[in-house]
Structure 1
Amino acid sequence: MTVLERGWYEKRWWCYLLAPFSVLFWLLATVRLSLFRFKLKASYRLPVPVVVVGNISVGGTGKTPFTLWFCQFLRQQGFTPGIISRGYGVKIAAPVLVSAQHSALEVGDEPLLLAERSGCPVVVSPNRVEAARYLLQQCPQVNLIISDDGLQHYALQRDIEIVLIDGQRGLGNGWLLPTGPLRELPARLKHVDLVIANSGQHELADGVMTVQAERLVPLTLPEQRLPEGATVDIIAGIGNPQRFERSVLAAGYQIKQRRFLADHHPFSQADFNGLTTPLLMTEKDAVKCRSFAQAGWYYLAVQAQPESALISKLTEKLNLLRSQYGY
C-alpha cells in the first residue's frame, strides 16, 4: 500500500490538502455523466443483457473472484455468459478475443485469468461497446455479457449493476480521488442493483461475500506439495495485498518475508531477488510469472461465496431479465 493509500484509509489530515483536485474530479465526472443522461453523448443498447460488475473505489474489492463465481452461477441459471474487459495496462488497437496463446503482457492479467478460470469467452478492448459487439460477432452463442469493471463506462447501457466494496477497509475517508479512494461518491450506491461487501459487513451493502482459500497450485511441477503449517515467503501485486496475507495465514501457513508491489505490477525475475522458497503468490500474479517460475513457487487459488440472501436477490433479477429478453 502506498503512502497515499494509507492516508485514505487511516484518514490522515494531509490528504485533505488535495481537496481542490477532488472537486475538479467531481466536476468533470458530473459533466460527463450529464452528457450521457441528456443524450448529448451516445450510449448503446446491445441485443443481449449486460451486467456490470464494478466498484466505486480504486484497489482490490474482490471483483475477480466474484466474477468467476458469477459465471458459474449464470450457467446454472441457463445463461451462456461472455466477458468484456478493458485490459488494464496493455495497449490494444482493436478488440482481442483472449486465448491460451496470449500472455498477460498482451491482454492484461485479469482478462487472462478470467478466460482461463471461467471457461467463458473474454474480449479485451478499452472501448466497451466495440468489445461487446466483437464478442457477439465471434461468439454468437453468448446471451449475456458481463462488463468487468465497467461501472463508469456509460457509453454501454446496462441492465444490472453490481458493485463490490471492501467490507474491512470500507470506503476510506469517503472522498473522491485524489483526496480519497473513490471514483464516485457513496450516494452512487443507492442507484445500483446490488452492493456486495467482501469479507466483512458494511452498512451500505445488501449482503456479504466471503473469499476462501481453495488450494495451493505449483507453478512448475504439478506433483509438488507443501506441508500444512509450512513457513513461506509471499509476494503480491494486487489492490489489497493485506487480504492475500490474511488468506495465507487463514490457510495455516506462517509468513517469513512479504513483498507487496503496486496493483497490476508487471513482474520480472528481479522482483523475486532476496525471496526464498516456498513462495506463495495470488493466482492473478501467477499468470504473469509463468515464463520464469521456479520450483517451490505456488499460487493460492480462492473461491468466492456470496451469502444466500445475495444469491436470492440475484436470482430474482436474472429471472426478470429472462422474461424481458424472452429467454
Structure 2
Amino acid sequence: MSDFKPPIENFFAREWRTRGWVAWALTPFACLFGAVAATRRALFELGWIKRVDVGVPVVIVGNVTVGGTGKTPTVIALVEALRAAGFQPGVVSRGYGAKVDQATSVTPTSLPDKVGDEPLLIARRTHAPVFVCPDRVAAAQALLKANPSVDVIVSDDGLQHYRLSRAFELVVFDDRLGGNNFLLPAGPLREPMSRRRDATLINSPYERTLPPWPNTFPLDLQSGDAWLLDDPTVRRPLAQFAGERVVAAAGIGSPERFFATLRAAGITPATRAFPDHYSYQDNPFAGIDADSILITEKDAVKFGAWRDARIWVVPVEAVLKPRLIALVVEKLRGRTPA
C-alpha cells in the first residue's frame, strides 16, 4: 500500500496500539490531559458552567478516540431513521477544515473547502438542514432559527462539546476500541473508556464479539454499487471490478477498512492512503496505469474541476439495529436533557 499520510500520524497509530516505551514515556502528559479534561467535564456536570438547552433534543454521535470510526455514515443512517420515526431532524457539525467563523448553512452545492467534507456529504445524502460552526450551540440555534420545523438535532461529533445540552449520547468505536487504553498523547483516548454514555456502536468487520457493555450494538457498513464520478446514473456492482487493474484511494480516518471492503468483494487493488480530509485540488492519479480507480463518497465531494473517466465512487450505508433506533426514539419522546 502506498501511504501518503504524514509519518508522525503513522507513528502514533502504531504506538497507540500497544503500551511500548513511547506510550509510557508520554504518560505524565496523559495524566495532565486527563486531569484537565475531567475538571472541565465536572464543571459542567456540577452546574458551575451552564449547559445550553437549544429547545429541541440533541443526539450526539461521537467517539472517545481520535481517528475515524464510522461516525459520518452513522449520522446519515440515524437522520434517516429519525425521519422514518416521524421526526424532522437537522444536523450540526464542527466541519473539520471548514473556513467559517459563524454558523453557516450547508447545502448540496456548498464548497467542501468552506464547509468541510463530512457536513457536505451529510447534506447531499440526507437533504436535512445542516449547519456548521466551531460553536455547536451557535450552529444549533442558527439551524432552528432558519428551520423552525426541526424537532431534533443530530450532532456530528461534539461528544466533548459539553456546553451543548444533549438528550442522548451515542459513542462509536472501530476494531481498535481504545487501543492501549491510554489518554492522549500516550494513547488514542480523548476520555476514559469508562465514560458514561447512552449507547455504544462497534464498527468492526473483523470481530463480531461485542464487549460486555450496556446498550452495545454492532455497526454494519454495507457497500452499494459503485457509481461513475462523471455520470452518477452509471452504476456497476463491485464484483464486476474483479480481474481489472484497480487502484483504490482513500483520504479518510481508516483507509484500510475501505480497502478491506474491496478485497472482500473479490477485488485486488493497488492502494493509496491519503491523509484524512485530503484535498484533491489536483489529480493525483494522472500518471497511474489502471482500468478503474475506486474512491469513497467522502473523497468524491472534494474533487476539484479536473475529471478522470476512470473514477468510480463506492457508497457505504450504515445499518443500525432496530433496538438501537428504538432506544434513541424512546429517550427523545420522554427526554430529560442532560
Q: TM-score of the superposition, structure 2-length normalised?
A: 0.89
2:323 is the alignment partner of 1:312: yes
Alignment map for 1:163-178 (pairs within 5 Å)? 163-166=171-174, 168-178=175-185
Alignment map for 1:115-130 (pairs within 5 Å)? 115-130=123-138
In the TM superposition, what is the alpha-carbon distance from 1:323 to its structure 2 partner? Answer: 4.0
In the TM superposition, what is the alpha-carbon distance from 1:261 to its structure 2 partner? Answer: 1.7
Residue 282 of structure 1 is aligned with which of 296, 304, 314?
A: 296
In the TM superposition, what is the alpha-carbon distance from 1:171 to its structure 2 partner? Answer: 1.4
Distance, in Å, in 2 between the alignment partners of 1:323 and 1:3 is 46
2:90 is the alignment partner of 1:82: yes
Work out whether residues 59 and 239 of structure 1, in 8 Å CA contact, stay in contact via their aligned partners in 2: yes
2:226 is the alignment partner of 1:216: yes
Larger helix proportion of the pair: 1
Work out whether residues 4 and 15 of structure 1, in 8 Å CA contact, stay in contact via their aligned partners in 2: no
SS at match of 1:152: coil
RMSD value over aligned CA atoms? 1.9
Rate the CA distance shift 1:224–1:146 in 2: closer, same or farther, 3 A: closer
Distance, in Å, in 2 between the alignment partners of 1:222 and 1:208 is 30
Residue 207 of structure 1 is aligned with which of 200, 217, 242?
A: 217
Distance, in Å, in 2 between the alignment partners of 1:165 and 1:140 is 33
In the TM superposition, what is the alpha-carbon distance from 1:32 to its structure 2 partner? Answer: 1.3
Q: What do residues 270-289 of structure 1 show as CA deviations (whole Å, max 9, x unaligned)? A: 53354344111111011001
Rate the CA distance shift 1:45–1:5 in 2: closer, same or farther, 3 A: same
Deviates more, 1:272-281 or 1:203-212: 272-281
Work out whether residues 170 and 202 of structure 1, in 8 Å CA contact, stay in contact via their aligned partners in 2: no
In the TM superposition, what is the alpha-carbon distance from 1:202 to its structure 2 partner? Answer: 3.4
Alignment map for 1:94-109 (pairs within 5 Å)? 94-109=102-117
In the TM superposition, what is the alpha-carbon distance from 1:13 to its structure 2 partner? Answer: 3.1
In the TM superposition, what is the alpha-carbon distance from 1:249 to its structure 2 partner? Answer: 1.3
2:35 is the alignment partner of 1:27: yes
Q: Taking every aligned residue pair, what percent have the same amino acid on both sides?
A: 39
Distance, in Å, in 2 between the alignment partners of 1:12 and 1:47 is 47
Counterpart amino acid of residue 275 in structure 1:
I
Counterpart amino acid of residue 213 in structure 1:
S
Q: What do residues 270-317 of structure 1 show as CA deviations (whole Å, max 9, x unaligned)? A: 53354344111111011001522311111110111133xxx2243144
Deviation >6 Å, runs of 4+:
none
Distance, in Å, in 1 between the alignment partners of 2:318 and 2:154 is 17
Q: What do residues 5-64 of structure 1 show as CA deviations (whole Å, max 9, x unaligned)? A: 111124443232221221121121112112212333231012111100000001111111
* Structure 2 counterpart of 1:298: 312
SS at match of 2:166: coil
In the TM superposition, what is the alpha-carbon distance from 1:130 to its structure 2 partner? Answer: 0.4
Counterpart amino acid of residue 93 in structure 1:
D
Distance, in Å, in 1 between the alignment partners of 2:102 and 2:117 is 18
SS at match of 1:142: coil
* Structure 1 counterpart of 2:278: 265
In the TM superposition, what is the alpha-carbon distance from 1:72 to its structure 2 partner? Answer: 1.1
SS at match of 1:72: helix
In the TM superposition, what is the alpha-carbon distance from 1:96 to its structure 2 partner? Answer: 0.5
In the TM superposition, what is the alpha-carbon distance from 1:165 to its structure 2 partner? Answer: 0.5
In structure 1, the gaps of 5 or more residues are none
Work out whether residues 217 and 324 of structure 2, in 8 Å CA contact, stay in contact via their aligned partners in 1: no
In structure 2, the gaps of 5 or more residues are 1-8
Deviates more, 1:109-118 or 1:191-200: 191-200
2:203 is the alignment partner of 1:195: no
2:192 is the alignment partner of 1:182: no
Q: What do residues 138-159 of structure 1 show as CA deviations (whole Å, max 9, x unaligned)? A: 0111100001101100000100
- Paired positions, count: 318
Rate the CA distance shift 1:187–1:291 in 2: closer, same or farther, 3 A: same
Work out whether residues 95 and 124 of structure 1, in 8 Å CA contact, stay in contact via their aligned partners in 2: yes
Counterpart amino acid of residue 195 in structure 1:
T
Q: TM-score of the superposition, structure 1-length normalised?
A: 0.91
Q: What do residues 112-169 of structure 1 show as CA deviations (whole Å, max 9, x unaligned)? A: 0000001111000000100000000001111000011011000001000001101x22
SS at match of 2:315: strand
* Structure 1 counterpart of 2:168: 160
* Structure 2 counterpart of 1:113: 121
Distance, in Å, in 2 between the alignment partners of 1:267 and 1:281 is 12
Rate the CA distance shift 1:11–1:289 in 2: closer, same or farther, 3 A: farther
